Amino acid sequence: MFEELQPAPADKIFALIGLYRADPRPEKLDLGVGVYKDRDGNTPVMRAVREAERRLLEAQTTKTYLGLAGDLAFNSAMADLVFGASVDAARVRAAQAPGGSGALRLAGELIKRTRPDVTVWVSDPTWPNHVPMMRGAGLSVRNYPYFDAASGAVHFEAMLEALGQAPRGDAVLLHGCCHNPTGANLDTTQWAKLADLLADRELLPFIDIAYQGFGEGLEADAAGLRAVAARVPEMVVAASCSKNFAVYRDRVGAAMVMAATGAQAETAMGHMLAAARTMYSMPPDHGAAAVRLVLADPELRADWEAELEDMRQRMLRLRIGFAEALRRQSNSDRFDFIARHRGMFSRLGLTEAQVARLRDEHAVYMVGDSRINVAGLPEDGLDRLAKAIVSVLD
């Protein structure tokens, strides 16, 4: 049986990790992997999460199943974190999922069960796993224009024009904030115009919010999602706690559905849980329990928000410093957009050949499309890195 299999295509990011680990050069720099790093290159456990875990260890008396929906208090807290007061909570249901990826797939399964012939529209570019994940759920996928590489900004008019042609009932997958891989994000006015279009065209908003708190702040990063929620009758959301709670390996996420009525939301929730039963049955508990404690305890929440803000501010400083270093080394404003972007990523606009030269000649590792992890930038080596980048430009 298995002798008929051909090797599966290698995941580009995980292949890059292997190359980086095998590189013996001491000056090597990893800008590819999508995890937050501190100035020492570590991805620490956040203070509030560590304290919550300590309390769990002392108080937890069983490891029995919680149920298909997972931790109900976690689900409620996540729905509040994401939606705020933008909609009546009775119209929203949430199911704990194994990370943001699990939430995305669960939402995709719900869409497939609701309308099998639907097309999911994704931004060009988007997170590489969006497309195979939606196709894995049996959904068709099409692109809409999003990023203008020449300006480093959102190609908003082209985006609206394309989505204006989407058939009624199709789903539109949007990055709630901190667009991955570009770092270019919609502003408040653009979100309002997009919400109007989605409502007028009867398109289903499908929002992936994986970096809340990394862009402009916890509340500001949810403003676009909330503007859409206030305008449309129904939507689906995939939320991840991997980045903003730094619980990457614990796989903590939530799939949410907002419907026109509470009864419709409850029915949709039932289908989501039925899909979960066929894929992984019950979600893992530990990370979600820690997040639930952090969000419920005023002191832990305050400490978490303070540390998250420190992380956000550090990335902003790195963005500004890196843009200034590139301006000095290139004697141009070509890379000024980096300071305007928000979140953990930006795309530099280099060719694959230039990215390969950076890796081979300077031990600088980034994804082939030149996406960089801003949190991985060397605080004391921005000019050296900028000089290396300029050296490979045509």
- Indicate the SS3 state at residue 14: helix
Q: How far is CA 116 from the centre of its chain?
A: 25
- Tell me how far apart the alpha carbons of residues 274 and 110 are, in angstroms, rounded to a whole number: 9
Short-list 152, 261, 175, CA closest to 224? 175
- Strands 171-175 vs 153-154: parallel, antiparallel or unpaired: unpaired
Residue with tokens 């499309």: 369
Residue 393 amino acid letter: L
Q: Give CA separation, 102 vs 166, 260, 327, 358, in Å.
A: 26, 24, 40, 34
Residues 6+ apart with CB under 8 A from 173: 120, 121, 122, 123, 126, 130, 134, 206, 207, 208
pTM of the entire predicted model = 0.94
- Tell me how far apart the alpha carbons of residues 365 and 31 are, in angstroms, rounded to a whole number: 6
Checking phi first, is residue 66 left (phi over 0); if not, alpha (psi -120 to 50) or beta? alpha
Cβ proximity of 92 and 83 under 8 Å: yes
**pLDDT tens for the 394 residues of the chain, in order:** 999 999 888 888 888 888 999 999 999 999 998 899 999 999 999 999 999 999 999 999 999 999 999 999 999 999 999 999 999 999 999 999 999 999 999 999 999 999 999 999 999 999 999 999 999 999 999 999 999 998 899 999 999 999 999 999 999 999 999 999 999 999 999 999 999 999 999 999 999 999 999 999 999 999 999 999 999 999 999 999 999 999 999 999 999 999 999 999 999 999 999 999 999 999 999 999 999 999 999 999 999 999 999 999 999 999 999 999 999 999 999 999 999 999 999 999 999 999 999 999 999 999 999 999 999 999 999 999 999 999 999 7
DSSP assignment of 157-196 equals HHHHHHHTTSPTT-EEEEESSS-TTT-----HHHHHHHHH
Residue 138, pLDDT score: 96
Residue 12, pLDDT score: 81
- Tell me how far apart the alpha carbons of residues 93 and 157 are, in angstroms, rounded to a whole number: 33
Residue 9 amino acid letter: P
Cβ proximity of 204 and 235 under 8 Å: yes
Residue 386, pLDDT score: 97
- Tell me how far apart the alpha carbons of residues 30 and 367 are, in angstroms, rounded to a whole number: 10
Determine how many CB atoms are found less than 10 A away from the CB of residue 132: 10
**Alpha helices for the chain (secondary structure H):** 12-22, 47-59, 72-83, 99-114, 130-136, 156-163, 188-200, 218-221, 223-229, 262-279, 286-296, 298-330, 337-340, 352-362, 382-391
Q: Which residues are catalytic?
A: 127, 208, 210, 243
**Which residues sit opposite 237 in a β-bridge?**
207, 256
Q: Residue 160 class from Cβ within 10 Å (0-12 exposed, 13-18 middle, 19+ buried)?
A: middle
State the DSSP code for 200: H
> In the structure encoding, which two tokens stand for residue 120, read together?
């999911």
